[in-house]
A = this chain, B = another copy of it.
C-alpha cells in the first residue's frame, strides 16, 4: 500500500513520467504553520542538477499546496501537495521499453503486476522520494515545536570513511559530507566513478537531538523497528544500523551496556533507544546505500520475452544515490518521529487529563 505512518500519515501517488506526483498528509494537528516556502526549501535540498556530483537532469519540482491550509496554518483537514512533472516525455526510455534494467525494479514490477510501465521506472522511480521530502518538512515543523532536531549527512562514499562528523559543515557541503577533512577525497571518488561510467555506494548518518523520552510504541511499533522500516524502504538502502549497529554484535555486554548516573548516561552505544523506546539520548542511525544501479557500462539482461540482451544505458543519472538519499533519510526520520510523538500522547492517563480536564 502507498501510505506511511499511523496517525501522522502520508499517502503518495505518481510515477516518474506521469502527469504529476503528489501526496496527502493526514493527521497534522490544526494550528501548525504550513506554507509552500519551507516545503520548497526542503525540496530544493534534494533537487538534482545542482552540481557535478549529482545527475545533471533538471527537475523543477515546484510544490503546490492544494488543501488543508487556511491563512497559513493547518486546519486539521488533510494537506494535499502536488508537483507537476515538467518533462513527461518518455522518449529517453524508448530503448529500454522492452528490457529489464539490472538492479532496477523493472523485472519485479512486471512480474508482480503484469504491466510494463517503462517510463523511467514508473512508480518505482526515486522521483517519488520528493514527496517524502515535502511531507517530511511538515513533520519537521511539528517536531520543532517540541525542540526535536534531526540532522544528517554523508559519512562514507565507497570505502572512504569520514571520522569526525560535523553536521553544520554537512549543510554547506555539495555532497553533504560530514567530515570536512575527507570531503575532497569523497568528491574525487565520485567524479572518478562518473568518468568510468560507473557509480558508487555511500553511507548516511543521522543524529537526532532533544528527543522526548518515551517515543516508540512497543512491542510492534517500536521506535527502532519503525525507523528501520522507514529507512530500508528508501530506494537503494540495503542496511540500517541503530547506535553501534553491526559493531554491537562484536562486543561484550560490559563494553556495550550504557551505564547511568544521576547526571545521565555514560555512553550511547544504544543509539538513544532502549526496548524500542527513546531514552532521551541522541538518536544515532546509519543508513547504507548501494551504488546507483543506472550505469553506462555495457550490461547483460533479458527482455520481456525472456531473451538475452546486451545493452548500454543512456540518460543522466546520479553517480552516488546516497547524496540525494541523505535528504530523503532526513525526511523519513522526521515522519517517523512526528507519528511517534502523536502516538505517545495517550501512553499515560495523566496525559488524557491534561488534554481534557
Contacts and interface: CB of A to CB of B under 8 A. Distances in A.
Interface size bracket, A side: 35 or more
Contacts of A212: 356
A245 B105 CA distance: 17
A330 interface: no
A93 interface: no
Interface string A313-357: 000000000100000000000000000011111111111111111
A1 B20 contact: no
B115 A13 contact: no
Given A7-B7, A103-B257, A103-B269, 7 more contacts: A124-B275, A145-B349, A193-B253, A201-B249, A201-B256, A238-B248, A255-B291
Interface in A32-62: 32
This protein's copies in its complex: 4
Contacts of A278: 108
25 contacts: A1-B217, A2-B220, A3-B26, A19-B66, A29-B347, A29-B352, A30-B114, A73-B115, A75-B117, A100-B260, A109-B275, A111-B280, A113-B347, A128-B219, A142-B352, A156-B250, A193-B253, A200-B253, A201-B249, A228-B228, A233-B276, A241-B288, A253-B295, A255-B291, A342-B346
Contacts of A156: 249-250
Interface-centre pick from A13, A30, A356 (highest chain B CB count, 10 A):
A13
A246 B29 contact: no
A7 to B, nearest CB: 6
Contacts of A66: 13-14, 18-20, 22, 82
B257 A77 contact: no
A188 interface: no
A308 B30 contact: no
Contacts of A112: 30, 76, 213-214, 216, 277, 344, 347-348
Interface-centre pick from A11, A196, A257, A354 (highest chain B CB count, 10 A):
A257
Contact of A122 (B64, B70, B231, B357): B70
Contacts of A354: 354-355
A120 interface: no
Contacts of A79: 13
A174 to B, nearest CB: 19
A131 to B, nearest CB: 10
Contacts of A140: none
